[in-house]
Amino acid sequence: MNIGFIGTGVMGTGMINNLLKANFSVTVYNRTKKHATNVLENGAKWADSPKEVAQKSDLVITIVGFPKDVREVYYSDKGIFAGIHSNMILVDMTTSTPKLAQEIAKTAEQKGIAALDAPVSGGDIGAKNGTLTIMVGGKSNDFERAKPILSVMGNSIKLFGSNGQGQNAKMANQIMIAGTMTGMTESLLYAQKAGLDLNFLIDMIKGGSAQNWSMTNYGPRILQNDFAPGFAAKHFLKDLRIALSTAKEMGLNLPATQEAEKLYKKMVEVNNLGNLGTQGLIKIY
Amino acid sequence: MNIGFIGTGVMGTGMINNLLKANFSVTVYNRTKKHATNVLENGAKWADSPKEVAQKSDLVITIVGFPKDVREVYYSDKGIFAGIHSNMILVDMTTSTPKLAQEIAKTAEQKGIAALDAPVSGGDIGAKNGTLTIMVGGKSNDFERAKPILSVMGNSIKLFGSNGQGQNAKMANQIMIAGTMTGMTESLLYAQKAGLDLNFLIDMIKGGSAQNWSMTNYGPRILQNDFAPGFAAKHFLKDLRIALSTAKEMGLNLPATQEAEKLYKKMVEVNNLGNLGTQGLIKIY
| ipTM score | 0.96
Q: Is the pLDDT of residue B257 over 90?
A: yes
Name the more confident of A125 and A3: A3
Q: Which residue of B has its CA nearest to A173?
A: B210
Substitution target in A190, A258, A281 with the highest count of B β-carbons within 10 Å is A190
pLDDT of amino acid A124: 86
Quick one: what percent of chain A has pLDDT higher than 70? 100
pLDDT of amino acid B33: 97
Active-site residue list of A: 170
Q: What is the rounded CA–CA span in Å between residue A206 and residue B122?
A: 12
User: For A252, which of B172, B177, B190 is closest by C-beta distance?
Assistant: B190
Question: Mean pLDDT for chain B?
Answer: 97
Substitution target in B97, B185, B186, B244 with the highest count of A β-carbons within 10 Å is B186
| DSSP helix/strand/coil, B20 | helix
Give the residue from B218, B261, B272, B270 showing the smallest Cα distance to B239.
B261
Rg (CA), chain A: 20
CA-based nearest distance B69→chain A, Å: 24
CA-based nearest distance B219→chain A, Å: 12
CA-based nearest distance A30→chain B, Å: 28
Give one DSSP letter per residue of chain A, joined into a string. -EEEEE--SHHHHHHHHHHHHTT-EEEEE-SSGGGGHHHHHTTPEE-SSHHHHHHT-SEEEE--SSHHHHHHHHHSTTSGGGS--TT-EEEE-S---HHHHHHHHHHHHHTT-EEEE--EESHHHHHHHT-EEEEEES-HHHHHHHHHHHHHHEEEEEEEESTTHHHHHHHHHHHHHHHHHHHHHHHHHHHHHHT--HHHHHHHHHTSTT-BHHHHHHHHHHHTT----SSBHHHHHHHHHHHHHHHHHTT---HHHHHHHHHHHIIIIIS--TTSBGGGGGGG-
Q: Is the pLDDT of residue B123 over 90?
A: no
Beta carbons of A208 and B208 less than 8 Å apart = no
User: For B172, which of A173, A191, A213 is closest by C-beta distance?
Assistant: A191
Beta carbons of B247 and A177 less than 8 Å apart = no
Find the mean pLDDT for residues A93-106. Answer: 98
Find the mean pLDDT for residues A75-102. Answer: 98
Find the mean pLDDT for residues B248-263. Answer: 98
CA-based nearest distance A171→chain B, Å: 8
pLDDT of amino acid B124: 86
CB atoms closer than 10 angstroms to residue A226: 13
Rg (CA), chain B: 20
Instruction: Kindly report, residue by residue over B42-80, the tens digit of the pLDDT.
Output: 999 999 999 999 999 999 999 999 999 999 999 999 999
Beta carbons of A250 and B194 less than 8 Å apart = yes
Residue A125 pLDDT level (bands cut at 50, 70, 90): confident
A226 φ, ψ to 5°?
-100, 105
Instruction: Provide the Cα torsion A248, A252, A255, A258; round to 10°.
Output: -30
pLDDT of amino acid B96: 97
CB contacts of A160 in chain B (<8 Å) are 196-197, 200-201
* Residues present in chain B in total: 285
DSSP B277: B
Q: Tell me yes or no: is domain B168-284 CATH 1.10.1040.10.
A: yes
pLDDT of amino acid A123: 85
CA-based nearest distance A49→chain B, Å: 34
B9 φ, ψ to 5°?
-75, -160
User: For B169, which of A201, A209, A255 is closest by C-beta distance?
Assistant: A201
Catalytic residue among B170, B238, B248, B266: B170
CB contacts of B209 in chain A (<8 Å) are 121-123, 177, 213-214, 217, 231
Instruction: Kindly report, residue by residue over A140-185, the tens digit of the pLDDT.
Output: 999 999 999 999 999 999 999 999 999 999 999 999 999 999 999 9
pLDDT of amino acid A230: 86
User: For A160, which of B122, B200, B256 is closest by C-beta distance?
Assistant: B200
Beta carbons of A256 and B185 less than 8 Å apart = yes
Q: Which residue of A has its CA nearest to B161?
A: A196
Find the mean pLDDT for residues A182-191. Answer: 98
User: For B169, which of A196, A251, A262 is closest by C-beta distance?
Assistant: A196
Q: Is the pLDDT of residue B207 over 90?
A: no
Find the mean pLDDT for residues B197-221. Answer: 95
CB contacts of B215 in chain A (<8 Å) are 176
Task: Answer yes or no: B248 catalytic.
Answer: no
pLDDT of amino acid A129: 96
Find the mean pLDDT for residues A225-246. Answer: 96
Beta carbons of B254 and A177 less than 8 Å apart = no
Return the sign of the alpha-carbon dihedral for residues A245, A246, A249, A252: negative
Q: Is the pLDDT of residue A111 over 90?
A: yes
Q: What is the rounded CA–CA span in Å between residue B137 and residue B115?
A: 9
Domain ranges of chain B: 2-162, 168-284
Instruction: Kindly report, residue by residue over B138-167, the tens digit of the pLDDT.
Output: 999 999 999 999 999 999 999 999 999 999
Find the mean pLDDT for residues A106-123. Answer: 96
Find the mean pLDDT for residues B166-174. Answer: 98
Q: Which residue of B has its CA nearest to A177?
A: B210
CB atoms closer than 10 angstroms to residue B248: 12
Between A129-138, B36-45, B119-128, B189-198, the lowest mean confidence (pLDDT) is in B119-128
Q: What is the rounded CA–CA span in Å between residue A55 and residue B284?
A: 52
Just give the CATH number of A2-162.
3.40.50.720
